[in-house]
Chain A
Amino acid sequence: MRLPDSVTGSFLVVLGTAAAYGGWLLPPVPGQPVGPNIFPLVIGIGLALCGLAIVFGIGHTFEEAEELIPLEDGQAAAAPPPQGKVYGLRALLPPALLLFYVVAADRLGFIITAAIMVYVTSTALGAKWKLALPLAALAPFAIHLIFGKLLRVPLPAGLLPTPW
């Protein structure tokens, strides 16, 4: 997800301008010179200026190259991860699962949704089914016990209510 500075900078310019314009459109407090409009205006302008500075590479010299810890002997050298376009998209799995939770939890219930989340995350991180399956079966109950029972968070029951 490393993007060139020109891309992120331009995005900030657009976002800043939009924020400043959006703020400017807001009505001030009646009878006062300022109101909810001034703060977004100032921030938007600041953000746009920062974006411009980033596009032109100002401040780039301060950035430190990412330090890679060299491997020592005695440590198994990890295989270089397979690179590819699809591989990079794996990073989006956690937020996607959270959105899945939002959509599905009310219908399927906490236990089933959570079990699916645990299984998918665990497998994506390289777990064999021998680990992922028991984990998916037990972890939702443990979390439900702590949050649902002890802390009384109203977790959705859905299709499979918990025994307590």
Chain B
Amino acid sequence: MMKTLIEAFALISTWEVIIAMFAASVYGLVIGSLPGLSATMATALLVPVTFYLSPIAAIATIVAASSMAIFSGDIPGALLRIPGTPASAAYADEAYAMTRKGQAELALGAGVWFSAVGGIAGVLSLMILAPPLAEIALSFSTFEYFWLALLGLMCATLVARSSPVKAIAGMFLGLLVSCIGIENPGGVPRFTFGLTDLFGGIEPIPALVGVFAVAQVMRAMLTPEPPPLPRRKFGSIMAGQWKLTKKYHWQMTRGNIVGIIIGVLPGAGADMAAWVSYAMSKRFSKEPEKFGTGHVEGLVEAGASNNASIASGWVPSLLFGIPGDTIAAIAIGVLYMKGLNPGPTLFTEKASSMYAIYLMFIIANILMIPLGIAMIRVAAYILLAPRSAIMPIIMLCCAVGSFAIGNNMFGVVTVAAFGVIGYVMEANGYPVAAMVLGIVMGTMVEQAFVTSLIKSDGSILPFFERPVAAILAAMAIGALLWPVMVWGWRKLKPVRTGVAATGR
């Protein structure tokens, strides 16, 4: 244990890792603070850069950039009422109300402080949960993996803030995309339409860049520019945070726990964690009437929650290769690329690398406090940059980055195509996160499914025979049928529908 810890320290104390981490932190803070550029997009655009770094430095950039971007989304939320990332949307109104009351420092300080605390709580959960889960996962056969992957996909559809049927359809679309290519059980070209470019299949990373970055530029084309930030002088940012921590320590802990749970659930990420925690905070608050008028309580809980989900989202990613959220989906791609294939053996064979990941998360969250304070002070200048100057550069990064992944132009075509797909899906209420998970997990689901079928000689029964498999199967099928049941319930009881509609 001590030896691996020292090895891990040795791994991260190289100049490459330190510089990569620092640069990625600044990059994440800037991208996160710009409205319309999300943490997922920041991470996706980083991937081509990670190609040229050592494995640990590559992961360091992703860890640092994603943690920072989730925090700095709070900045325009508090100052402009425009969330910088979707994860800050839940409490942007509240933070802005505080700014109007002259408490901008307190709101932003709470953002930095509780984000850092939440991030560290998330890492602790990763350190505590992962090893025992890895023990269990070692005994899993393909049947369990199949159901687990299916359950993961289903979770993603259940938590989507949209119609579950559309979410499931999005997931199927993603799985269908993953069918393309010759990497299938028979090794035959499938859905390639004779195009050699499609033989290798659709790479997840260009698809992600398209869905999250190009689609965002497309949306920007049709939406008005956000107003510029009024320049202001800030007082002490960290003043009063310790008092808040003592006053709201229970809310903070609850936020951390909710964030961790939502992070572990596949497909649900920081934005979901923030919404749930903010709602919970209001529900259980002693003074719910103050919510919406610039009350810091909800900010504490939701801020603690969304950053906690970032680290705990790595738990299923590292153990099973099932991403906990869209950022983890990108991280999995990078892990594979760097020879750190996700799986339970990662914790025994590459233990020092795991410890290095934990350490980097902790360092990133500590680094967040000074860098975050600096960022708040210069945010007014950064937000002066008009959208018409930022979006063209994002476009260039999309083109060059997707080209760099395979050094071929087909990557750029993929990015463009998935930009359109992502834009159309989002506009029509199909959650893109579900499709992304489908693309990332498709090959794994198919492998587990077909291998299991061959093992069972085409029979369905063995899928349910092992006890763990049966439990996972029941959960997955329940998740699949849940929307149908709710729909039937509402049809049968039309009176209740009205109540439910007003209750939401």
Contact = CB atoms under 8 A, between A and B. Distances in A.
B479 interface: no
Interface in B480-494: 483-484, 487, 490
Interface string B385-429: 011110111011111110110010100110111011001100111
Nearest to A12: B169
Contact of B404 (A34, A59, A60, A153): A153
Interface string A80-102: 01000001101111111111011
A160 interface: no
A105 interface: yes
A43 interface: yes
A45 B214 CA distance: 30
Nearest to B418: A95
Contact of B409 (A26, A78, A105): A105
Contacts of B412: 98-99, 101-102
Give the contact-size bracket for chain A: 35 or more
B388 A118 contact: no
A132 interface: yes
A140 B400 CA distance: 10
B162 to A, nearest CB: 6
A34 B454 contact: yes
Contact of B222 (A39, A61, A87, A114): A87
A53 interface: yes
B52 A152 contact: yes
B241 interface: no
A92 B218 contact: yes
Contacts of B169: 12, 47, 50-51, 54
A39 B184 contact: yes
Contact of A38 (B395, B424, B450): B450
Contact of B395 (A91, A118, A152, A155): A118
Contacts of A39: 175, 179, 184, 445-446, 449-450
Contact of A47 (B172, B218, B227): B172
Nearest to A135: B389
Residue in A61, A98, A147 whose Cβ sees the most chain B Cβ within 10 Å: A98
B348 interface: no
Contact of B400 (A28, A78, A153): A153
Contact of B398 (A53, A98, A105): A98
Contacts of B179: 19, 23, 39-40, 43
Contact of A139 (B163, B166, B393, B497): B393
A128 B176 CA distance: 43
Interface string B336-354: 0000000000000000000
B163 A59 contact: yes
B290 interface: no
Residue in A60, A62, A147 whose Cβ sees the most chain B Cβ within 10 Å: A62
Contacts of A153: 48, 400, 403-404, 407
Contact of B221 (A78, A79, A124): A124
Interface string B423-437: 110011110000000
B166 A127 contact: no
A63 B386 contact: no
Contact of B487 (A32, A58, A96, A147): A58
Interface string A119-139: 101111111000110011001
A1 B424 contact: yes
A15 B218 CA distance: 25
A161 interface: no
Contact of A61 (B48, B218, B490): B490
Interface stretch (B186-194, B264-272, B311-319, B325-333): B186-194
B450 A122 contact: no
A1 B135 CA distance: 48
Contacts of B165: 50, 53-54, 58-59
Given A43-B176, A94-B419, A64 B161 contact: yes
Contacts of B416: 94-96, 98-99, 102
Contacts of B446: 39
Nearest to B430: A8
B51 interface: yes
B391 A125 contact: yes
A151 B48 contact: yes
Given A50-B168, A60-B163, A121-B392, 8 more contacts: A1-B427, A22-B190, A26-B188, A43-B176, A69-B81, A95-B416, A98-B419, A151-B52
11 contacts: A38-B449, A38-B450, A40-B191, A47-B172, A47-B176, A50-B165, A91-B222, A94-B221, A106-B409, A126-B225, A143-B396
Interface of A: 1-3, 5, 8, 12, 15-16, 19, 22-23, 26-29, 32-40, 42-44, 46-47, 50-51, 53-54, 58-64, 69, 72, 75-76, 78-79, 81, 87-88, 90-99, 101-102, 105-106, 110, 114, 117-119, 121-127, 131-132, 135-136, 139-140, 143, 147, 150-155
Q: Considering the complex of A and B, which 10 residue pairs feature the smallest CB-CB distances, nearest first?
A: A59-B165, A127-B388, A125-B388, A33-B458, A98-B416, A50-B169, A36-B186, A78-B224, A59-B163, A95-B416
